[in-house]
Amino acid sequence: MRRVGLEREIAQFVDDGRVAIDNNPAERALRPVVLTRQNALFAGSDAGGETFADAMTLIETAKLSGLNPQAYLADLLARINDHPNKRLDDLLPWNWQPATA
């Protein structure tokens, strides 16, 4: 049964040049997540682990949105206290625009 699936995968690779021959890019993309998970084991407490998870979620989402995470977080922390509650969605990575000087 597995042989038929393997033949289908090989045929797809041969027929469609867009299909990658290996999955190394996907494995490299997962490596930071695994390292982060291992580092989170030493957060100190459940609350520390939750805070760490929140921070990593913001950082990784900023990366996926094509932002510099350091610039995004610096601007976010500088603006969040004075930002209207009804417009917090503006500060999410996919909506964020840097503050004008």
What is the average per-residue pLDDT within 55-70? 89
Helix, strand, coil percent content, the chain, rounded in steps of 5: 65, 0, 35
- Higher pLDDT, residue 85 or 25: 85
Three-state SS for 100?
coil
Quote the CA–CA distance of 20 and 23 in Å, as a whole number.
7
Smallest Cα–Cα separation from 40: which of 55, 27, 59? Answer: 55
Q: How confident is the model at residue 53 (pLDDT cuts 50, 70, 90)?
A: confident
Task: Give Rg (Cα) of the chain.
Answer: 20
Any idea of the CA torsion for 67, 69, 72, 74, to the nearest 10 degrees? -160
Q: What's the pLDDT score for residue 3?
A: 55
